[in-house]
């Protein structure tokens, strides 16, 4: 079974400014330092005229996980996240995201879109999570979904603050 997550944030900043920040290596380093959790780091980073691809490592502290998840998963969790971004001719940006939890039967795949709007920009994410654990897999998927939404909201807030300070 899998669970779908949809997330949207808006910004008063134009799409090109949000994109430039979101794929900037220094921005990613700062974001991971602030909200990436234990052991967060950039594992790979490549950029050229056709777009950007990077792989990040996040850490989730065991104490921040709900009890049902803690009882199944022992210790901190490592999350590896790979994103690709490609600019489009219409001024929007399309992305893909893949999430792995090394050593765990769980992951996620999704798409992202950053589009210009009359008042700035909109960032839309669609992710499908999957946890292959009998009986409690659905509970864990719900928890993973909540954590993903929480992380996306923190990242959107970080991006807004980052751009406002420039």
User: Tens digit of pLDDT per residue, the chain (166 long)?
Assistant: 688 999 999 999 999 999 999 999 999 999 999 999 889 999 999 999 899 999 999 987 767 666 656 566 666 678 899 999 999 999 999 999 999 988 778 889 999 999 999 999 999 999 998 888 776 667 777 777 787 888 899 999 999 999 999 8
Whole-angstrom distance, CA of residue 135 vs CA of residue 96: 30
Question: What CATH number does residue 50 fall under?
Answer: 3.30.530.20
Domain, as residue range, for 63: 2-164
How many structural domains are present in the chain? Answer: 1
Check residue 51 and give its pLDDT: 96
Check residue 66 and give its pLDDT: 60
CA distances from 29 to 22, 51, 89, 135 (A): 11, 18, 28, 38
Question: pTM value?
Answer: 0.88
Closest alpha carbon to 69 in 133, 149, 152, 157: 133
């Amino acid at each position: 079974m899998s669970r779908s997550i949809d997330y949207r944030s808006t910004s008063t900043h134009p799409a090109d400014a949000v994109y430039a920040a979101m794929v900037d290596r220094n921005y990613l380093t700062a974001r991971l330092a602030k909200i990436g959790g234990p052991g967060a780091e950039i594992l790979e980073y490549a950029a050229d005229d056709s777009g950007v691809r990077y792989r990040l490592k996040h850490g989730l502290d065991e104490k921040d996980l709900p009890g049902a998840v803690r009882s199944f998963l022992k210790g901190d969790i490592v999350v590896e996240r790979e994103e690709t971004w490609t600019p489009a001719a219409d001024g929007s940006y399309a992305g893909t995201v893949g999430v792995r939890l090394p050593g765990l039967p769980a992951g996620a795949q999704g798409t992202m879109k950053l589009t210009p709007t009359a008042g700035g920009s909109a960032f839309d994410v669609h992710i499908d999570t999957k946890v292959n654990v009998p009986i409690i897999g659905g509970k864990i998927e719900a928890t993973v979904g909540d954590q993903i939404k929480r992380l996306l909201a923190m990242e959107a807030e970080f991006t807004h603050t980052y751009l406002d300070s420039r």
